[in-house]
Amino acid sequence: MTLQPKPPRSRLDPEPMPRRDWLGLSGLWSMGGALLFGMFGMLKLPKAAVLASPSKKFKVTLPETLAAGEAFVPSGRSVAVFRDAEGVHAISTICTHLGCVVKPGAEGFECPCHGSRFHHDGSVSRGPAPRALPWLKVSVSGGILTVDEGTTVPSGTKVA
């Protein structure tokens, strides 16, 4: 029996790649891909991950038409500002029960979440809120009102 030589393979039917070469090449491609993803990750690192929060102090301009005892709620703030004959004061509109934003109205403040009600001075008229709404510091400088949401003052404190 004679051994027949294999016919030469054509370009359309190439020699299969040995397993060892295939594993080596796939390992190289994997390392290259991991390196590329790592570089993209490093490019994202310098970006700030924390957003700036708005200042607790803000200036308020009360409308001329604001009636005595009527609440003015500055846009984007959880504060109701009042003006009457004794001066200006600000009350937080964050409910002391679980932190919902209360709505000022003719009867005082009403919490839409669990039904707490507060008098005009922030004291509780109906629970479950455990405490009165805190009064916030208001200061006047050069005719400009500044409310500090981060500082509470005793109830009844008004600035002229």
Site residues (vs ligand FES, CB under 6 A): 95, 97-98, 100, 111, 113-114, 116, 128-129
CB of 95 to ligand FES, least distance (A): 3
Between 88 and 129, name the residue whose CB sits nearer to ligand FES: 129
| Cβ 113 to ligand FES shortest distance, Å | 4
Residue 135 CB, shortest distance to ligand FES, in Å, is: 18
Beta carbon of residue 77, minimum distance to ligand FES (angstroms, whole number): 18
State which residue, 117 or 158, has the beta carbon closest to ligand FES: 117
57 vs 126, beta carbon nearer ligand FES: 126
- Grouping H, G, I as helix, E, B as strand and the rest as coil, residue 87 is strand
Provide the minimum distance between the beta carbon of 132 and ligand FES in the complex, in angstroms, as a whole number. Answer: 13
Measured from the CB atom, is 74 or 128 closer to ligand FES? 128
**Phi, psi of 132, deg, nearest 5:** -70, 160
**Going by C-beta distance under 8 Å and a sequence separation of 6 or more, which residues neighbour residue 134?**
91, 92, 96, 122, 152
- Closest to 72 in 3D by CA, of 90, 85, 58: 90
Contact, 80 vs 90, CB < 8 A?
Answer: yes
Residue ranges of E strands in the chain = 57-60, 79-84, 87-92, 103-105, 108-110, 117-118, 124-126, 135-141, 144-153
- Residue closer to ligand FES by CB (options 71, 88) is 71
- How far is it, in rounded angstroms, from Cα 2 to Cα 18? 27
